[in-house]
A = this chain, B = another copy of it.
Amino acid sequence: MSIVVALTDRGGAIATLDSDAGFLLARAGGRAIRALNRALEPFGLRSRHYTVLLAAAEHGGLSQRELGDLLGVDPSAVVALVDDLQRAGLVRRDPHPDDRRTRLVVLTEAGTEVFGRAAELAAKVEDETLGPLGPDERAALLGLLRRVAR
């Protein structure tokens, strides 16, 4: 007890890399993103394109504003990502029925097909990322991350 008090009095000297949640989160996240980028290279896509496809597939048509909020990406970045995907023929920008300012990002048939194959690759990458963890531990990690990543 007195040892701990002495250490904390020295001004946080018990801090270590291995107990720094922010560092561990950023490092693990970075590895996952890089691994997914490598896996998606044959498709000419990067992780962030994949998350756009994923969000659009999950919700079946989102405004760019909604995409940005959902993904935590700046609106100006959403424009660039959707530009890429549209140029590749994977999404369309459909007019919103009630608001002429907003454009709904919808998967094309080709986009749905590519997303399906990319999702399989992503599942493989995730399986490797979470390699050391058993099924229950993976579920526990996902549950905790969901509450932290809000």
State how many copies of this chain the complex holds.
Answer: 2
A142: chain B residues at CB < 8 Å are 19, 21, 24
Binding stretch for chain B, among A28-36, A80-88, A95-103: A28-36
A55 to B133, CA, bound (A): 26
Residue ID in chain B nearest A131 by CB atoms: B148
Contact residues of A between 33 and 57, Cβ < 8 Å to B: 33, 35-36, 47, 51, 54-55, 57
Residue ID in chain B nearest A9 by CB atoms: B116
Residue ID in chain B nearest A139 by CB atoms: B19
Given A15-B119, A17-B70, A28-B29, A147-B126 contact (CB < 8 Å)? no
Among B17, B24, B70, B130, point to the contact of A21 (Cβ < 8 A): B130
Are B129's CB and A31's CB within 8 A? Answer: no
Q: Secondary structure at chain A's binding surface: helix, strand, loop or mixed?
A: helix
Chain A positions near chain B (C-beta within 8 angstroms)? 10-13, 15-33, 35-36, 47, 51, 54-55, 57-58, 70-72, 113, 115-117, 119-120, 122-123, 125-126, 129-130, 132-133, 137-138, 140-142, 144-150
A137: chain B residues at CB < 8 Å are 144
A70: chain B residues at CB < 8 Å are 17
